[in-house]
Amino acid sequence: CPVHPSKCASTKWLKMSATCCGSNSWSLFPSISERAPAYQRFHTLAQDIPPGLTLPYKYKVLAEMFRSMDTIVGMLFNRSETVTFAKVKQGVQDLMHRQFEERNVGQIKAVYPTSYKFRQEKNIPTFSSFLKKSSYQLTVEPVLGEDGRPHLSASRLLERRRVFSRNLVNAVKQHHKTFMASLSPPMVIPDDKLTRWHPRFNVDEVPDIIPAELPQPPQVDKLTTAQEVLTKARSMMTPKMEKALANLALRTAETSPGKHEDPKATPTANTSSALKGVSQALLERIRAKEAQKLQALMTRNPQQEERLVMISRLPEMARLLRNVFVAEKKQALTMEVACTRMLDSYRTTMTSGEMEKHLHLFSELLPDWVIIHPIRKDTYIKLDKSMDLNVLMERLTRMIKEEEKL
């Protein structure tokens, strides 16, 4: 740029649509400005929790909004106050320190339709200079389904929160089901058996909840379209203005709002050149085997997952346990001593109770190698040091593979 050479040369993140100083139409690259922040796009990956049916970041924010809204509504409802959106909005924003709009209320209604009754009412005291008493306000009333004057107690708040979270998970399950149907080969897993998402299903790219329609104040002689304006003031217009408004009304009628499409699964890439010559039947068997393995992974319950993790640690622990008995030069050790020696040697920190569970698992899977004897108030563990450790490793490896198939 001849006018701002240093400024324009150092601006790497901007692009110029015409000329720098002619139109000043600088804009950010769409790929940078339209993308969500990284803490939202990779929210699920950053969670320090066991893998399961985790929710995307925006759904968790919506669940927190419902919790805050229910708290404010419950407090006002229990005091027999008329709950208006203005009061709820201020309270939720004070709790969450983020914007809370009618669009969020519409999303809450879409997720949990039977949670509230919404009405447009007027003649409600506002105690505000911005709202007149005669103006319409959106009122909120919790649906409790009881006779008389019900009370929104803490237990009801917890139950409503659980229902809302369950509905959010069901909404993600529908997108997950669409993703599974688009795979090759397609996979079908009943909702009640699904315990985690498919590894290639990007949870954080699930679309937003489409807001449900809320009651609107009645429109009294309010002109909303160009066609109505044209009809109302036809006698007051010049021919040129009439023609311009007619064209605008026609364009408005032809324009329809775009629909938000669900994210679709990434299409399967074509067979690469490296797979040329490989029979199609073999590829189909490999894909079917992979789908079966993924289905087992997504339907495994938490108890099976915990047992699989424990069994996967046993090969390394087996070497340590044998070294402990060799170093102690004893045929049997108390459970307390064995756990202490194992905790000192194992690379991962765990409690004594967790280590004891692993030793009991040894006696369950390898009863000919590890034997546990409860004697009086103590428990002793005995090890057969004459057995070949490589044979034990092979047996444990087979057990891990069998457990992964379940």
Q: Where are the domains of the chain?
A: 302-404
- Model pLDDT, residue 18: 39
- Model pLDDT, residue 232: 66
Element (H, E) at 371: strand 370-375
CB under 8 Å to 106, separation ≥6 — which residues? 211, 212, 213, 214
> What's phi and psi for 332, nearest 5 deg?
-145, 150
- Model pLDDT, residue 210: 93
Coil, helix or strand for 378? strand
Coil, helix or strand for 241? helix
| Site of tokens 């419902």 | 66
Q: Give the Cα separation of 183 and 207 in Å (integer).
A: 19
CB under 8 Å to 236, separation ≥6 — which residues? none
Q: Give the Cα separation of 399 and 279 in Å (integer).
A: 32
Q: How far is CA 174 from the centre of its chain?
A: 13
Q: How far is CA 309 from the centre of its chain?
A: 24
- Model pLDDT, residue 259: 45
Q: What is the pTM of this model?
A: 0.57
- What would be the CATH architecture of the domain defined by 302-404? Orthogonal Bundle (1.10)
Coil, helix or strand for 159? helix
Q: Are 205 and 64 in contact (CB under 8 A)?
A: no
- Model pLDDT, residue 105: 95
- Model pLDDT, residue 395: 92
Radius of gyration of the chain (CA): 33
Q: How far is CA 354 from the centre of its chain?
A: 30
Q: Are 54 and 203 in contact (CB under 8 A)?
A: yes
Residue 289, CB-side half-sphere exposure with 13 Å CA sphere: 7
Concatenated DSSP letters of 285-347: HHHHHHHHHHHHHHH--HHHHHHHHHHHHHHHHHHHHHHHHHHHT-SEEEHHHHHHHHHHH-S
10-residue mean pLDDT profile of the chain (406 residues): values are: 44 40 39 62 60 85 95 92 91 93 94 93 70 77 77 91 93 91 86 85 89 85 64 66 74 60 47 64 78 73 82 91 90 91 90 92 91 89 90 90 78
- Model pLDDT, residue 17: 39
User: b/e map of 261-292 (b: 16 or more CB within 10 Å)?
Assistant: eeeebeeeeeeeeeeeeeeeeeeeeeeeeebe
Q: Are 109 and 116 in contact (CB under 8 A)?
A: yes
